[in-house]
Structure formats: structure tokens, C-alpha cells
Structure 1
Amino acid sequence: MKKISNKYRALALVALTALLGAGACTKNFEDYNTDPTGLTEDQLKPDFNFIGGFYPQIQSSIYYNYNNTTWEYQLQQNLIADVYSGYMMSANPFRGNISNLTYSLVNDWNGFPFSLAYNRVMAPILEVKRRGAQSVAPDFWGVALILKVEAMHRVTDIYGPIPYSQYGQGGTTSAYDSQESIYKRFFLELDTAVTNLKAYIASKPGATPFAKFDMIYGGDYKQWIKFANSLRLRLALRIVKADPATAKAQAEKALADNGGLLETNNDNVMVSGFGIRHPLYTITNKDGWSDISMNASMESYLGGFHDPRIGKYFDPASDYPGQYKGIRLGGSITAKPGYSGFSTLAYKETKSIKDNSPLQLMTAAEVYFLRAEAALRSWANPGGTAQELYERGITTSLSQWGVADQASEYMNDAVSKPAAYVDPKNAANNAPSPSSITIKWDDGATFDTKLERIITQKWIAIFPEGQEAWSEFRRTGYPKLFPVVNNLSNGTISTTIQIRRINFPQAEYVANQAEVQKAIQLLGGPDNGGTRLWWDKL
């Protein structure tokens, strides 16, 4: 992954200042028409500064931490998707254990994925558009569209219907779109992005005008095309149960595109530079917050599989030296130091999670597992058999985490299974093994067993990106996760089926009430955590 030069940090911070005053999402769509830095667009036009300066904020606001406040990420993702994915659980008894962690959804928390995405991603993209990027710099616009799709598919995958097609058209409210129509628009926007970038490469081979604003690929548009194609493949499989024909067509389009897909760890989509820090370092660090730890489901799978990545992902439990101990979601957490001595993320021993670690959005390993599923479904051009691609996914992930020397032994293990969970502090949290799945590929297994094997290994590989892991769990039912211990949803969320979404923000009920009511109709069920999204089919 190429790095950006620090000499452009000041430029980015000046440009970002223009966007810091945003309030509620929908009522401020029309407010981004002036630049309070005092610089005119003409003064910023040389070297595309007049549009490029917005991109560092956009890139660092997807897996959110662009201003390094960390608590916003904690509410955007860490106390939602990171725990619902089975990756993490908090040792902090937030709100007396009456919170998201026990399915008692906290309105003050759950608006953050919405407001941060609109105010920090959609608003600057709208300003880039207003400044004429579509015509004067279609290559920059292509990158903006890729980032827009990456950011907003996460938002619709949290809530369902969201404002999208009419965003920025003025007024104090904005119409919600159905998730089906949003996904169709995603595919069209990726079409435009790839077309624009290919045209630029053909006309100006080797040019990198976006380099000084690029926190991911150093301005290499060929890499951005790989990201776009890989993102298309991810989204195609996301909708396979809801719209099988479109899913197949879009997946095969991604697989056949001559721009390629993410294939090596050098292709991984990792956001870094401009002083950005990794929020999980502060949240897990015992010298910081000590607010997030290993989830019991991760202990079950990584421990049961004797997975060599366990020490790269987590530190051993300080209360139980040499052991890795996770915490059950929704258990009765006692006040610190209660469970603080269980395994934290690996910040201390292997130091995989550092203050300046890049923010991971997508990896080549994930793409191999996507291709493996495409092959399993007999779609065209996956580039190998399901087994070959499954094994490439594993080896690519093990290589990413520095344990590639153990790949053969790991992939040929046909015996190890996820382990039962034992809580040494509270036997009420104990649970039997969630699954009997093993690691080694079995070509004679059923379709469902093969799919569980692929998704389970993908889940392990894409850590710590909990939003994608939670979405894939909801789509497929895999990996099989320990259910919540204490379900305080008052019957709105099934303990067995587990949480499916987050309710619409309360701020939207105040500022955009009529449209929220329409959104609930589009959702097709009550606005609570038990209602399935459009793509979330049985």
C-alpha cells in the first residue's frame, strides 16, 4: 500500500474545516455552498486543491476516526456492529447493562452511523460535485463515487431505507429510498466510476493527480478500479437471496472486468496518513479506556481451530495467563475491573493494533472468499474452483497477519471444531459449541456446509471490520454465533435469530418525520432491531 506525504496534511485540515459545522443530517443538506476558509475556488484550483482537499475527510470518515476523537467510532460501529458480529464485547457495564449490548437499543448512540456518514462523507462529496468534478475532473469524481458506495452501503446495511437518490436537492427534509433501489444505484455509480478511471488511464497513462489526497493507494487509479470491482462483487453477493438474477449479473460483471480485483495484500484497502489514528487502540488499551475485549464467539472459533491468528488479533487474558478469554454478548458485566482482565485486542504483546495502524475497509482475503462463493454458486469466471479460492483466502489472510508458514497445517485440519464456552467468573454465561464446522475443505459436503465453511473463514479473515462481518452473518447465518445472554428488547428482537438492524435515528423523527414514516413502510416492518432488511432473507 502506498503512503501519502505528510506535507499535504495542512492542506487537508484547512479544507476539512469547511465541513465541521454540520448539524442534523437532512436539514443541512443545502448548507455546503461556501468555503469558510476564506479561499476562493479559483485560488484552490491549481493541482485540483479546490476539490481534492475534501477527500482526506471522506476517506477517514467511513471507518470513522478522521478527527481522532475515537468516541464517535465507538458509537458509530464499536457498540453496534463490532459486538453484533461476534468479534468484540465490552468489559464496561454501560448504562447498568441496559444498552445495545443487551438489545436495549440506546437512541442517543444509534444515530451516529447515520449522522457521521451524511455530515462527514455525503456532504463533502456533494460539495465536490457542486464544484464541478463531474466535468472538470471525472477521475476525481470516479474516486468519490467509489468512496460514496463504500460508505453508504454500510449505512443502508444498518438501517435499511435511507435518504440517497434525492440527497442534496434542497429543502429541510429528504426522501428515503428503498434498499432495493439504493443497491441498484450503487451498481450504476460503480459503472460510472470504473468508466471514468479507465478513460483517464487511457488518455494520461502514468499520471497521478489524486496522489496527494489519497490515503489508500497513492493516486494509483488501477488500484481504485480493483477496489471498485471487488466492492461490486461484495454487494452482488449481499443481495443474492433478494434478487438472484441481479446478484449473478453484477458478480459476473465484476469477475470479468479487465481491471481486476484485489488479489494480494498490497491491494488491501487500508486508510492511513494525515495523522489519523486507529480508534480501537484507545478503546481496548488498558492505559486508555479498556472498553472493548474479545467476544466469546472469537474465543470459540479461534481457540477451537487452534488458529495461528489468535495471538495477532488478541492478547492473552491478564487474569488467566497464557489463555485467551472472551466475554459473552449481553452477559451481566460487573463494574471494572470485573472482566477487564479478559483478552483485549492485541495492542500489548504482538502489537497488531497500534495507535497509527491503518483503518481496514477491504482485503484481498475477503475477495478470495467472495470468489469462492461465486464458484460454489456456479457463476462464470470466478478464477478457480471453490476449494482453490477458499484456500487462497486462508493463505492470503495468514500472510497478511504474518503466520503464512502455518497455512498447510491449518488448512488440512479436518478435526478441530469451535469450542464450547466457559466463563470462569459466571457459569450462567457458559454455552456449548455453536457449530461442528471444521477447516479442511470437503468437496463432498452439502452446499450449506460448504457455504458455512467459506463464510466462517471469511469472518475470521476480515477481522476487525465488524460492520461487514455483521452484515454477512445476517445474510448467511454464518458463522453460528453465541446468542445474547440477557435480551432486554421487550420481545422485539429474537434471541435465537439475533439482531437484524438498528432503528432510525430519533433526530430524523423530529426533523424528517413524514419521510421516516414512509421509510417504515419501505422497510416492511416495525422500526426496531428485529425487522429484517430487504436483502436479509431466510
Structure 2
Amino acid sequence: MKGKYRVSDILLLVLIFLASSCSDFVDINDDPNNPTTPTLSLLLPSTQLSMAGHFNNINAGGSSVVQHFASGSLNRWSQSGTSFSSAWSGFYTGTIPDLETIIRVGTAQEQWGYVAIAKLQKAYLYSIMVDLWGDVPYSEAVGDFANPKLDKGEDIYNSLFALIDEALADMDKSFTVVAASDVFYQGSKANWQRMGNSLKLKMFNQIRVSDPARAAAGIKALLASNAPLISDNAQDFTFQYGTNVTPNARHPWFTSWYSTGRGGYTSMQLINKLKDSDDPRLRYYIFRQNANVGLANSMNGEGYYGREPGDGAAAPADLNTRALVGIYPAAGLYDNGTIKTLTASHQFLNNTGAVSTTSSNSFKISLFTSGDGTGAGILPLITHSMVKFIRAEAALTLDTGEDAGLLLAEAVAAQLNSVSTLASRNKGNVMPATTISGFSNKVKAEFIAAGTTGKMNVLMTQKWIALFGNGVESYNDYRRTGLPVLGDLVAPLDVFPMRYYYSETEMTSNETLINDRESIQRAQQTLPVFWDK
């Protein structure tokens, strides 16, 4: 979300609305004080809050699979029918029906701005659901269908490309949206156009392995037409959390990791990659509670107490010593403590201005103290940085005619600026401009010096680092490219998951699925989605 409107500004309004409305707005009484036609300016923000809220469930799984985190069952490649049931149920009983209501009612009322936004949100959400689950209910998802069929993921993708074009065309009919009703862009037509085109770009790139000709043609057409894409951090399709405690509007990682129970373990794969690469984001991604703690809660380390991937050992008494997620993206704490093992070769990750204690922030366990940061973090869904990474990948693999090295450097710089901006708003240190430009140029030089295979590894490793905060997209990238090289699991419980398990409720209530429930679920673990074939 950009601008002055935050979750905390609209949450009470939406909660009041949700308490007095239902998605189909059925009312047997023709009471003018209880209208059966929804107010779109009230319904739209509820869909946006719902989509972002349930995204956390699928994001946690992706972050564990790709080793952004080192905890959770997916970190050991294990899942069940309850792993993502809350997201599945939330999308299908809340978000999607309400989006369809906005499209139906908005079309009848010719409120094309609301219709266009709802179509773009629908396209985004379904594209993510196909990416994660493969075949999902689409044509029978809403309406009088007790046992909706699973539509083929490829067919859904084809429909979504058309839906995006419909939304962009709807915007040209008229576009009037109450600013306060739009959590993401405050009613900005230009930004929604950029989001729509950027979503198309992302989806074309997603299918480049299964249909390289279509992917190349689609991306080249977008670039040749100068279709507006997300080209500035201020245009990011990003959900901005607030600082309210009651009702809770803070980033879910913040509420989890900065509670007395903590949220899990940080990934030593990520920590080591950042440190070994002289990456300044280490101080922003990871906060050390104790400057001397090491793995297994020993006291001979330098504070980066996380876990290796797939480590299923029981947790010792370490709630006050394990490393936490930092100021990005959850608006936790910025780590300004001395990192003892840094050497003169560390130019961008260094101890300049560092304090001798772990952090300059006053860390407290209580959720209700200002020492724990603010929680006003972000959920990066489609960003300027992602768009540049996608264009770099397309240039490298589809011969789109752009400079992949330059796009890579711009992608890294854009994400570093996003990290710095979030830190500046949440008690953290601003990243110096010379650090941003210097590190981005360093990455570009590594890319140029690498061979063909090495170039792809540099690109996807940098994107993996930049996608901390969106494990879903990193999970998509890894399945599409096999990069970056992830660590071997200490104790895997299954094979690498190619798709998410369906909700057990769907499997046991949908009569078209129940007889083959076990084989369907097992296929989710082993069979790739259509674009990964």
C-alpha cells in the first residue's frame, strides 16, 4: 500500500462491514435500511485484507521450502491436508466470492474502476493458487456447485490472461474509486494499470519452460508496446501493515517472532549466504538477541543462532537467544551490533557505526513495548525489483533484447532501496546510497564475469535473497529454474514437494474427489504444475 492509508486506518470500518454483511447479500426482507446490494467501496477493502491475511499461510510454507526459514514441516518437505486449509478455505469462502460480487454488481452499476480492480485481484489470486496447487476449482468455484470440479491449471492461466486484458479495457471505460477503499493503491488508475501489465509479465515468465514461444512473444509484445509496468518502488503492489495492537494490524511475522513463543528458526543457509557475499541486508533481515550465542544454543558464536535446513531436533530453552527476523520485511528490529568475524574484505557489510552490544535498540520480550519495533512491515506481492528480475531472466533465456546485467543491477538496487525505506520508517538505519550502488555494481560485475550457467545462478540467487518476505514467489522460481542451490536437508521427511496439498475439508466433502483422496494428495507431492513440465 502506498500513501497515507494503512490497515489501521480502514480496519475498524471493514470489521463493522463484515459483521453486518455476508458475501451474497441475501436478505429476505426488502428493508431500505438493510440493502441487498453491496456498497462496493466497503466490500473492496475487505477482499484486499482477506487476500493478504490468508496469504500468510501459503507464504509460511513457501518460505520454509526455499530455506528462508529453517522451521515448519515444509522445511523437512512434509505436508498434510491441514497445512494450507486455512488459506484454501479463506480464499474460497471469503475472498473469491466477494471479488465475484464486486465484478457482478459493479458491471451492472457500470462502476468500472471497482470491476477492474476486482478482476486484477482475481487474476493475481488464481494465478498464485494454480502455481501452488496446480488444478483448482475455477469455473465452478462460485455459485450453486456443491462439488466443484478441479479445472486444469493451464486452462485457468489462459482464462486469466484474458481476464487481465478485460480489466485493463474496463479501466478505459471509466475509473472512479474511493481512495480510502483501495488498500493497495488508493484508487490510482495508473498504478493498477502497471500492476496488471506486470502480472502479465510475471505469468508469461512463469510459463517460459512449458511454452517458451508464447512466453517470449508475450514479453516482447509488452516491452515493444511500452505497456506501463511497475518501474518505481512507489508503484509496488505491496500490502502495508499497520501498528495497531487491538485489533491487530501488524505484520504476522512480527506478531509471531516478537511474542514470547517466538516464530521458529532463521535459516543458516540465508545467513551464511548474506555474510559470505558481503551483503548489507544481513543486518536488516536478521536480528541477534545475544551477541555470543551459536548453533545449538552454545555460547561460542556471534549471535546468528538459527538452524540448518531440515533440522528437526527439539528446541532447547532458547527463546531469548535464537536469532529473529529483523526489520525487513516485518518491521522488527534492526541489528546494529558488532559482527566479530567480519574482515577487511567486507566492504558493504561492515562494523562502521556498530555498537559493542548486540543492538542499539532496546529489546524487550513484551509485545506492548516500543522496544520491539513497530510491526508496520510489508508483504511484497509484485514489486519494482521483481519486475526487473523477471525482465533480466527473460533477457537471458528468451532473447528479449534487453541488457540482463543492467536489469539485474537495477533489481538489486530497487530492493535495497525498499529495505532502506522500510528501515527508515521503523527505527532502523538508512542504507547509504554508496552502499546500494556499490553492492549493485558488485553483483553486476559477478554476473558479467560468469559463464552462461553461472549468470543464471547469480541472477536467481540474488532474486532468492530479495524475495525474503515472499516465499511463494521464491518457491515458484526454484521449481522453474532449480536455482539457487539449496542446502541438503538434515533429516527430510519426504521428497521435495512439487505442489501444495489440498485442504482436507475439500478432499472429504467434495464428492468428485473423495474416492481418490489419497492418490490425489500424494500426486500433489510428486507431480509438477503445468508450467514446470
What one-letter code is carried by the residue in structure 2 that aligns with 1:364? H
Aligned-residue offset at 1:461: 1.4
- Measured in 2, the distance between the counterparts of 1:37 and 1:108 equals 39
Q: Does the alignment pair 1:172 with 2:146?
A: yes
Q: Matched residues in 2 for 1:305 and 1:228: separation?
A: 34
The 1:448–1:110 alpha-carbon spacing in structure 2 relative to 1, beyond 3 Å, is same
Query: How big is the shift at 1:397?
Result: 1.3
- State the secondary structure of the residue aligned to 1:504: coil
In the TM superposition, what is the alpha-carbon distance from 1:106 to its structure 2 partner? 3.0
Provide Cα deviations, 1:274-308, integer angstroms capped at 9, x if missing partner: 863210001111x3430233212211321211100
The 5-angstrom pairing of residues 12-91 of structure 1 reads 12-17=14-19, 32-34=24-26, 50-64=39-53, 73=56, 75-78=57-60, 80-90=61-71
Shift of 1:245: 2.1
Letter in 2 for 1:410: F
Query: Who is 1:435 aligned against?
Result: none
1:310 aligns with 2:311: no
Please name the residue that 2:391 is paired with. 371
Other-structure match for 1:423: none
* Preserved contact between residue 87 and residue 298 of structure 1 (Cα < 8 Å): yes
Distance 2:408 2:116 in 1: 31
| Structure 1 residue 317 displacement after superposition | 5.3
Give the corresponding residue for 2:404. 386
Q: Contact 1:456 / 1:478 at 8 angstroms: preserved in 2? A: yes
For the residue of structure 2 that corresponds to 1:271, the secondary structure is strand
Over residues 475-502 of structure 1, what are the superposed CA-to-partner deviations in whole Å (9 max), with x where a residue is unaligned?
111111113221222xxx1xxxx32212
Closer, same or farther: CA 292–268 of 1 in aligned 2, 3 Å: farther
1:326 Cα deviation after fit: 3.1
| 2:204 equivalent to 1:236 | yes
Q: Match of 1:27?
A: none
Q: CA contact under 8 A between 2:408 and 2:444: conserved in structure 1?
A: no
Partner of 1:417: none
Distance 1:243 1:391 in 2: 27
Report the 3-state secondary structure (helix = DSSP H, G, I; strand = E; otherwise coil) of the residue aligned with 1:360. strand
- Report whether the alignment pairs 1:227 with 2:216: no
Root-mean-square deviation (CA), in Å?
Answer: 3.1
Residue equivalent to 2:347: none
> 1:43, CA displacement in angstroms?
5.5
Shift of 1:236: 0.9
Distance 1:86 1:407, change over 3 A: same
> Given residue 85 of structure 1, which amino acid in structure 2 is its aligned partner?
V
Partner of 1:281: 254
The reply to whether residue 349 of structure 1 matches residue 349 of structure 2 is no
The offset of 1:77, in angstroms, is: 3.0
For the 8 Å contact 2:262–2:319, the answer to whether it is kept is no
Shift of 1:142: 0.8
Q: Distance in 2 between matches of 1:123 and 1:36?
A: 20
Give the structure 2 partner of residue 527 of structure 1: 523
Q: How many Å apart are 1:57 and its aligned residue?
A: 2.1
Whole-Å Cα distance in 1 between the matches of residues 307 and 223 of structure 2?
Answer: 39
Q: How does 1:41-440 map to 2 (within 5 A)?
A: 50-64=39-53, 73=56, 75-78=57-60, 80-90=61-71, 99-133=73-107, 136-200=110-174, 208-272=176-240, 276-285=249-258, 287-316=259-288, 318=290, 319-320=293-294, 322-338=302-318, 341-346=321-326, 347-350=332-335, 354-380=374-400, 384-402=402-420, 403=431, 404-413=433-442, 440=445
Distance 1:334 1:411 in 2: 39
Cα 1:353–1:501 change in 2 (3 A) is farther
Asked if the contact 2:253/2:263 (under 8 Å) is kept, the reply is no
Contact 2:406/2:444 (<8 A) preserved? no
Task: Please say if residues 498 and 527 of structure 2, whose CA atoms lie closer than 8 Å, have aligned partners that are also in contact.
Answer: yes
Check conservation: 1:121, 1:151, Cα contact below 8 A.
Answer: no
Q: Is the 8 A contact 2:76 2:491 kept in 1?
A: yes
Instruction: Tell whether 2:440 aligns with 1:448.
Output: no
The Cα shift of 1:112 comes to 2.5
**In the TM superposition, what whole-angstrom CA distance separates every residue of 1:356-393 from its partner, at most 9, and x where no partner exists?**
2233212111111111112223544x6x4111111111
- Provide the residue aligned with 2:3 in structure 1: 2
Decide whether aligned partners of structure 1 residues 268 and 172 sit closer, same or farther in structure 2, where only a CA change above 3 A counts: same
2:469 alignment partner, one of 458, 464, 480? 464
Cα distance, 1:10 vs structure 2 = 4.2
Question: What are the superposed Cα offsets for residues 338-357 of structure 1, whole Å, 9 maximum, x if unpaired?
Answer: 47633210123358974222
TM-score normalised by the chain length of structure 2: 0.79
Say which of 504, 507, 513 aligns to 1:506.
Answer: 504
SS of 1:217 mapped into structure 2: coil
Q: Tell me, in whole angstroms, the C-alpha distance in 2 between the residues paired with 1:261 and 1:447.
A: 27
Corresponding residue number in structure 1 for 2:428 = none
> Cα–Cα, structure 1 residues 448 and 135, in superposed 2: closer, same or farther, change >3 Å?
farther
CA 1:135/1:254 → structure 2, altered by over 3 Å: closer, same or farther?
farther
Scaled by the length of structure 1, what TM-score is found? Answer: 0.78
What residue number does 1:427 align with? none
Structure 2 residue matching 1:230: 3-state secondary structure: helix
C-alpha contact (below 8 Å) 1:63/1:361 kept by paired residues: no
Q: 1:192 is paired with a residue of what secondary structure?
A: helix
Paired position in structure 2 for 1:536: 532
User: Which AA in structure 1 matches 2:186?
Assistant: G
| Structure 1: runs of 5 or more not aligned | 21-30, 66-71, 202-207, 414-437
1:44 and 1:514 map into 2 onto residues whose CA distance is 33
Mark the CA change 1:399 to 1:129 in structure 2 (over 3 Å): closer, same or farther. Answer: closer
- The 1:536/1:282 distance shift into structure 2, 3 A limit, reads same
CA–CA distance in structure 2, aligned partners of residues 461 and 37 of structure 1: 53
| Aligned partner letter, 2:508 | V
Percent identity among equivalent residues?
22
- Judged with a 3 Å threshold, the aligned counterparts in structure 2 of structure 1 residues 135 and 455 are, in CA distance, closer, same or farther, namely farther
CA separation of 1:292 and 1:505: change in aligned 2, threshold 3 A: same
Q: What do the CA deviations read for 1:430-467 (whole angstroms, capped 9, x no partner)?
A: xxxxxxxx763444644332222211111111221111
* Conservation of the 8 A alpha-carbon contact between 1:161 and 1:519: no
2:490 paired residue number = 485
Q: Secondary structure at the match of 1:359?
A: strand
> Counterpart in 2 of 1:69?
none
Q: Indicate the SS of the match to 1:62.
A: helix
Counterpart Cα distance in 2 of 1:519 and 1:178: 17
Partner amino acid for 1:242?
A: S
Please give the alpha-carbon distance, in whole angstroms, between the structure 2 residues aligned to 1:467 and 1:19: 31
